[in-house]
C-alpha cells in the first residue's frame, strides 16, 4: 500500500509535507526547468515587501562549516511587480502557494497583504517577522509577543487567507512566541528562520559579509531547530512547519518525530535543486518500510 503523505493546515490540504523555504527558491519559476514543481507539497516565495528592494551589496553569502551565512537584505521585486509578473505563473501550479510577506512597519505588512488579497492566486500567507539581516526587518514583531499579536490581528482584518507565522530562533523563549502566534490567530508556525552569525576572513581581516553579521542556515542549525520544534510541539497546540538544515529524508523524518507536520527545505536547494524531490520519495519509502500508512502516525511520536 502506498503511504499517505497528505495533511492539512488551516483548511488547506497538502499532498505531501515538503515545501521549499522562502528565499532559497526564488519565485518558483527559476526552478521550472529543473524539477516538476507540481510534485512539491508547497512553494514559499521570497519575502515580498511593499517596495522593490535591491538588498545588500555583495558579498551577501558566505560558506561556513556545515552551513552558510547570508545577509541578502530582503532583495525582492516588491508587491506590485510580484502581482503582475510572478503570480500569473504561480497560480497555474498544482501545489500550495504560500506568499512570504515582510515589512518594517505594521502598516507595510497590512498594505502588502491587502494588495495580495485583491490579487488572489495563492493559498496562504507566511509572515516573516524574523529577518535578522536588515535594520528594520519586522524584528520587533518576532521578538515581542504583544507586537506579534497586534500584527497578526491587523493582517487578519485585510485577508481571508490562513496565516502562518515564521518564528525567529533569536529569542529568549520560542514557546512564548509560538503561543503569541496562536493567540493572534495564526493557523501554524513555521520554524526556524536563520540564527544570527558572523565570520571573518583571516587574510583580509574583514567580515565575510558586507552586512557584518548574517543568518546562519544549513545542517549546522538542524539540532537547534529540532530542539525548538520539540519544545513548541509539547507546549503549544498549533501545527508546526519544521525548517532548518533539512537535506535528506532522514532529516525530514526526525522533524516529523518531534512534531513537525509540514517541512521546508532551504539551503539544500542550493546544493542540489532536486533535494526536495528526493526527500518526498525518501519519506514515502521510509513509511512503506516501517509500515506506516499515514504521515500523522509519525508526527510527534518521538519516544522519550
Residues 6+ apart with CB under 8 A from 221: 67, 169, 192, 194, 195, 244, 245
Residues 6+ apart with CB under 8 A from 301: 256, 257
| Helices 222-235 + 249-258 axis angle, to 10 | 30
Query: Using the rule CB under 6 A, is 197 a contact of ligand FMN?
Result: no
Residues 6+ apart with CB under 8 A from 26: 46
Pick the stretch among 27-35, 234-242, 262-270, 271-279 that binds ligand FMN (CB under 6 A).
Answer: 262-270
Query: Closest CB to ligand FMN among 17 and 245?
Result: 245
Query: Closest CB to ligand FMN among 15 and 56?
Result: 56
Pick the stretch among 5-13, 91-99, 108-116, 239-247 that binds ligand FMN (CB under 6 A).
Answer: 239-247
Q: Where are the alpha helices (DSSP H) in the chain?
A: 78-81, 87-90, 106-119, 139-143, 145-156, 174-184, 222-235, 249-258, 268-271, 275-289
Cell reading at 294: 499515514
Pick the stretch among 79-87, 216-224, 232-240, 274-282 that binds ligand FMN (CB under 6 A).
Answer: 216-224
Phi-psi region of 28 (alpha: psi -120 to 50; beta: other; left: phi over 0): left
Pick the stretch among 3-11, 15-23, 112-120, 173-181 that binds ligand FMN (CB under 6 A).
Answer: 15-23
Q: CB of 104: closest distance to ligand FMN in angstroms? A: 14
Query: Using the rule CB under 6 A, is 24 a contact of ligand FMN?
Result: yes
Q: Considering only residues 97-156, where is the footprint of ligand FMN by CB under 6 A?
A: 100, 128, 131
For residue 131, indicate whether it is catalytic: yes
The footprint of ligand FMN on this chain (CB under 6 A) covers a number of residues equal to 28
Question: Using the rule CB under 6 A, which residue among 46, 53, 156, 256 binds ligand FMN?
Answer: 46
- Alpha carbons 151 and 39: distance in angstroms, whole number: 33
Give the x/- contact pattern for ligand FMN in 177-196, rule: CB under 6 A. Answer: ----------------xx--
**Which CA distances in Å does 80 have to 93, 113, 159?**
20, 12, 17
Where does this chain bind ligand FMN (CB under 6 A)? 21-24, 46-47, 61, 68, 70, 72, 74, 100, 128, 131, 166, 193-194, 217-218, 221, 243-246, 265-268
Positions marked active-site:
131
Amino acid at each position: 500500500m502506498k503511504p499517505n503523505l497528505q495533511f492539512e493546515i488551516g483548511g488547506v490540504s497538502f499532498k505531501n509535507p515538503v515545501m521549499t523555504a522562502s528565499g532559497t527558491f526564488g519565485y518558483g519559476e527559476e526552478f521550472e526547468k529543473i524539477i516538476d514543481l507540481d510534485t512539491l507539497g508547497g512553494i514559499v516565495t521570497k519575502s515580498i515587501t511593499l517596495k522593490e528592494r535591491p538588498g545588500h551589496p555583495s558579498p551577501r553569502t558566505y560558506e561556513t562549516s556545515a552551513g552558510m551565512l547570508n545577509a541578502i537584505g530582503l532583495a525582492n521585486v516588491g508587491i506590485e511587480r510580484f502581482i503582475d509578473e510572478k503570480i500569473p505563473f504561480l497560480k497555474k501550479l498544482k501545489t500550495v502557494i504560500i506568499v512570504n510577506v515582510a515589512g518594517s512597519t505594521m502598516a507595510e505588512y497590512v498594505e502588502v497583504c491587502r494588495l495580495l488579497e485583491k490579487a488572489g492566486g495563492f493559498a496562504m500567507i507566511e509572515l516573516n517577522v524574523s529577518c535578522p539581516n536588515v535594520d528594520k526587518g519586522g524584528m520587533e514583531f518576532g521578538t515581542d509577543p504583544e507586537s506579534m499579536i497586534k500584527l497578526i490581528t491587523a493582517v487578519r482584518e485585510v485577508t481571508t487567507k490562513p496565516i502562518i507565522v515564521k518564528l525567529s530562533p533569536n529569542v529568549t523563549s520560542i514557546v512564548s512566541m509560538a503561543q503569541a502566534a496562536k493567540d493572534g490567530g495564526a493557523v501554524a508556525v513555521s520554524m526556524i528562520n536563520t540564527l544570527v552569525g558572523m565570520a571573518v576572513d583571516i587574510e583580509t581581516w574583514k567580515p565575510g559579509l558586507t552586512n557584518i553579521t548574517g543568518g546562519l542556515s544549513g545542517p549546522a542549525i538542524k539540532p537547534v531547530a529540532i530542539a525548538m520544534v520539540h519544545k513548541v510541539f509539547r507546549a503549544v497546540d498549533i501545527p508546526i512547519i519544521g525548517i532548518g538544515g533539512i537535506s535528506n529524508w532522514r532529516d525530514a523524518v526526525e522533524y516529523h518525530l518531534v512534531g513537525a507536520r509540514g517541512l521546508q527545505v532551504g539551503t539544500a536547494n542550493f546544493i542540489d535543486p532536486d533535494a526536495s524531490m528526493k526527500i518526498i520519495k525518501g519519506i514515502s519509502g521510509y513509511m512503506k518500510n516501517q509500515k506506516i500508512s499515514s504521515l500523522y502516525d509519525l508526527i510527534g511520536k518521538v519516544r522519550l
